[in-house]
Structure 1
Amino acid sequence: MRIQTRRGGKAAWTLLAALALTACGQGTEKGPEQAGTEPADESKEKKAVTVSMYIHANILDEADLNKYVIGPLKEKLPHVMLEVTRDGKGYQIQDVLSTGSFPDLIVTSNPHIPTFKDAALVTDIAEYVRKQKIDLNAVDPALIEAIRMNSPTGELYGLPFRQNLGVLVSNLDLFDKFGLPYPTDGMSFDDVLEVGKKLTRMDGGTHYIGFDPGNVPNNMSTLLALPFADPKTHKAVFDSEGWRTVFDFLKSAYEVPNFIGPNKEYQYASLFATERRVAMQNTWVLGVAVAASQGNYAGMKWDMVSSPNFKGHVGKGREADVHLMMLSKLSKQPEAAMEVMNMMLSMDVQSMFSRDGRPGVLNHKEIEQQFASGIEAFKGKNIAGIFKSKPIRPHEVSPYDAKLRSLIESTKVEFILGGKDLNTYVRDLQEKANQTIEAMRKQ
């Protein structure tokens, strides 16, 4: 295997044994890397080809790239050499485009599809899907729709290979300590909040948190597929029933007696695994899988239930969060690139994802039942609950979403600790958001 990593503008070459498919580096290197295997005897009829890949937002870190892409390539497509470029300083989309070319494959998540669309890098892959006889019916239709919705005519810009799902993870030791029944699948946020109130307390000098809402309100907005702005009118849409529902719940969660800490702290995400004084946390299953596999929950009695939701929406999950590969419009090797995309949908690769606690994308109960079977800490857990809340169609992304998410994060303290009422906060947020949009449009 040959790996090329550019560090500080200088190329460093490393020769590895073909079976040494471990992570190279710490996942922080940026720029082009090259990895692959020499063609095996049985593939001599296929000409060796190099497929280039652009990994955006670290959707595949070094370990994942080696295990789920390079390893399967060695077995299934040994004639394919993979050249990888990661986004980062000097390798942003426009930096790479300025060279006059772009990698064959784009690895990203569905909220970022518009970014590549604006850069004129997306293309419809329908003809390649037909030629390579890729069975889209085998894929969860909600995930395909999450990709198609980015085209006004329903074009398919890429194929999913992995997804993320929301869950409620619980420290059952705290439920035992205070004599309360465990959480169950199908809870509403009102249910969760009532239980959380009973667990939030000072006890023996320790500050216990019954329910940590997590990244609020941004993650909760995905349960209702709430848009941040109207891309047609270029106006924020926070003064809506949906957003008011989210903000109202936020206020209720933070007004629970003893929730706000003595030093005005109100975010407790890291304490679930470290100090173990958070009873319930609203989070993503990928994060739970990583934490459990790294031993972060060792010695804790913990479990998960399906993602809670607002009344009237229980049973529905967060917006589909799709990790996908897209064919670049500037691809020089589209056929080979599509072979790689097709490989990611193979039963072997999808089973590997599932066993490692990474939700796959196929409609196969067998794969779903394998979920996290390779993680010792998941044995005996409520695996079925993870899949009971089905992902919903994402909101229509606007060019302003990222800035408006940041605006919510920077202003929500006014609502949580500053004493602003709901109407005042929404009015001020709407005004600031529209000012932000106007400033962006003038750039």
Structure 2
Amino acid sequence: MKKSLKLAMTGSLLVGLLAGCGSNGETAGEKNTTSSGEEAAPVHLKATVLPDDLETFKTAYAEFSKENPNIEVEFETIPQKQYYEKLRMQLSSGNDIDLFGGNMDVFLDTGVLEPLDDSIKNAGVDVSGYGPLYDSLKVNGKVYGLPYRKSNWMLYYNKNLFDQAGVPYPSDDMTWNEFRDLAKKMTKGEGVDKIYGAFLQPWAQTWYMQGVQTGASIIDKDLSTFKAGLQFRLDMEKDGSMMGWAEQITTSAHYNSAFQKGNVAMNLIGDWHVAQLRQAEAEKKINFDWDVVPVPHPDGVAVNTSLATPVSLMVNSKSKHKEEAFKVIEFMSGAKGAKQFAAKGFLTGYMNDDIRKTYIGDGSLKPKNIHYFVEQKEYPEYPLLPGVKNILVQSIYMQEGELALTGAETVDQAIDKIGERVASEWAEKYANDYKAGK
């Protein structure tokens, strides 16, 4: 999915060379030595990370190099739209990448992921800081990556529009039906001046999340739980309280630009939108007040239940320096690296009280209620198994959902067709060889 600031970042950046060297060529501080007392030779690692994360990795690496002066890391990135396809090609062609970041499931079928269980055990990594996210990372009982950040969903709202309408702000405990009623109440006007009560990006996640919030999985054999979410989106479009799918596609509407325009009351999207809005404020592109509340929930589901998608660091199984590569992963995804990412506004995979305080900040930046992000009950958006994202999320669920939203299929037909396609296009290929969870 989802979900990143589209920075035009290409090429590579070397972000550390023998940190702490003085004019006499000696390393400042304690020297890293071998068991025989000799100074360890520098080890050069190559890492590829997502463009949105590159600058934070640079900052965190400056701290890492103080503790590991013999490990030099060259960070590279690839433009977001080409990232996974190009990185998969580079890894399969034997490119000398030692470690890399992204959604772990994209690489499981490549054979390039190094199991990290022994490294985690030998290093005594405290995995409790990852919470339930850690077990969701396991595939066939093994861990192939550690999450340095994650993406959770939240409901953003334009406080000015609610003030102008004299309508109370969204509650932190809304059911989906209450959300729909509020969206209808906030919708007014026509044409280019219309105020929409809500905006839901034309992604399958915006309707299947209602099923996931109940604990269901998009690979379940019984997908009846997901009918309500698809029917709900269709009903909201009929209400006119949100821009319809067809109009979103023909006008290339996007959640970020749509919300920043100032005519959308509520915007359902992930945590990365915080950074986008803060940047827009810094550049004086928006002049309205905004905040967040938890995503609406189905009846009977706990308040502030959301979806979580981990973004991990992984070791290339063909790397000649796996031990050193894991040290980078251990630092970046652990407490020290997480604090650096939290300070930049990223929701981190590892969490403790100190990191939580850093993420929430001193209250000088919006959103005022950012604390909701670190108080969520989380379900994995989808199982971290091969093909789930590209076959199910980006193909089957998207295509059949669109047929329902355009009236080419009924909701029942769409869900039934999804079930058939999940079995024939995904399960027959992967289900017998891969198992998620503990």
TM-score (norm 1): 0.77
1:289 is aligned, of 275, 278, 282, to: 275
How does 1:3-82 map onto structure 2 within 5 Å?
A: 27-30=8-11, 33-40=13-20, 41-46=28-33, 47=40, 48-55=42-49, 58=50, 60-68=52-60, 70-82=61-73
**Residues 163 and 263 (structure 1 numbering): CA distance in 2 closer, same or farther, change over 3 Å?**
closer
Q: Tell whether 2:128 aligns with 1:134.
A: no
**Equivalent residue for 1:122?**
113
CA contact (8 A) 2:224 2:415 kept: no
- Structure (1/2) with the larger strand percentage: 1
SS of 1:255 mapped into structure 2: helix
List per-residue Cα deviations over 1:41-95 (Å, max 9, x = no partner): 224334221122233xx26543233233x33234332322113344559954244
* Kept in 2: contact 1:146–1:322 (CA 8 A): no
Q: 1:184 to 1:45 in 2, by over 3 A?
A: same
Counterpart among 208, 213, 223 of residue 240 in structure 1: 223
Aligned in 2, Cα 1:181/1:204: closer, same or farther, shift over 3 Å? farther
Q: Give 1:383's aligned residue.
A: 370
Match for 1:202 among 170, 189, 195?
Answer: 189
**Match of 2:55, as an amino acid?**
A
Quickly say closer, same or farther: Cα 1:336–1:60, change in 2 above 3 A: farther
Please show how residues 236-385 of structure 1 align to structure 2 within 5 Å. Answer: 240-257=223-240, 259-260=242-243, 264-265=247-248, 269-295=255-281, 298-315=286-303, 317-373=305-361, 376-378=364-366, 381-385=368-372
User: What is aligned with 1:16?
Assistant: none
Shift of the alpha carbon at 1:371? 1.8
Kindly tell me: are residues 416 and 263 of structure 1, through their superposed partners in 2, closer, same or farther at Cα, counting changes over 3 Å?
A: closer
> CA offsets, 1:176-200, max 9 Å, x none?
1111111121222111111001111
Residue 140 of structure 1 deviates from its aligned partner by: 2.5
1:423 to 391, 412, 422: 412
SS at match of 2:211: coil
The size of the alignment, in residue pairs, is 396
Q: From the superposition, tell whether residues 105 and 300 of structure 1 become closer, same or farther in structure 2 (CA, over 3 Å).
A: same
Match of 2:137 in 1: 147
Residue number in structure 1 paired with 2:158: 171
Shift in alpha-carbon separation, 1:36–1:135, aligned structure 2, 3 A: same
Equivalent residue, structure 2, for 1:406: 395
Range moving further from structure 2, 177-186 or 352-361: 352-361
Q: Is the 8 A contact 2:315 2:325 kept in 1?
A: yes
Match of 1:96 in 2: 91
Q: Is the Cα contact below 8 Å between 1:49 and 1:80 reproduced in 2?
A: yes
Q: Distance in 2 between matches of 1:107 and 1:265?
A: 31
CA shift for structure 1 position 390: 1.7
Aligned residue for 1:162, secondary structure, equals: strand
Shift in CA distance, 335/27, structure 1 to aligned 2, threshold 3 Å: farther
Which blocks of at least 5 consecutive residues in structure 2 are unaligned?
Answer: 1-6, 21-27, 34-39, 431-438
Give the Cα–Cα distance (whole angstroms) in 1 for the partners of residues 208 and 305 of structure 2.
11
Gaps of 5+ in 1: 1-25, 231-236
- In the aligned structure 2, how far is the partner of 1:242 from the partner of 1:403? 20
The alignment's C-alpha RMSD in Å is: 3.4
- Partners of 2:134 and 2:278 lie apart in 1 by 30
Q: Structure 1 311/271 Cα, relative in aligned 2: closer, same or farther at 3 Å? A: farther
**Counterparts of 1:132 and 1:198, CA distance in 2:** 55
Q: Residues 4-53 of structure 1: CA distance to partner in whole angstroms, max 9, x if unpaired?
A: xxxxxxxxxxxxxxxxxxxxxx64325x6543122432243342211222
Deviations 1:327-381 (A, max 9, x none): 22222112211211121145443222222211123341232132252784426x0
Query: SS in structure 2 opposite 1:52?
Result: strand
Corresponding residue number in structure 1 for 2:146: 159
TM-superposed deviation, 1:284: 0.7
Q: Do the aligned residues in 1 keep the contact of 2:173 with 2:304 (CA within 8 Å)? A: no
User: How far off its partner does 1:281 sit?
Assistant: 0.8
| Alpha-carbon spacing, 1:436–1:345, altered in 2? closer, same or farther (3 Å) | closer
Shift of 1:287: 1.9
Deviation at 1:417, TM superposition (A): 3.9
More displaced stretch, 406-415 vs 73-82: 406-415
Q: 1:283 Cα deviation (Å)?
A: 0.7
Match of 1:12 in 2: none
**What is the rounded CA distance, in whole Å, between the counterparts of 1:242 and 1:102 in structure 2?**
45
**Per-residue CA shift, 1:96-144, capped at 9, x if unaligned?**
3333x642212122443xx2x222122332222233222222x122221
By percentage of residues, which structure has more helix? Answer: 2
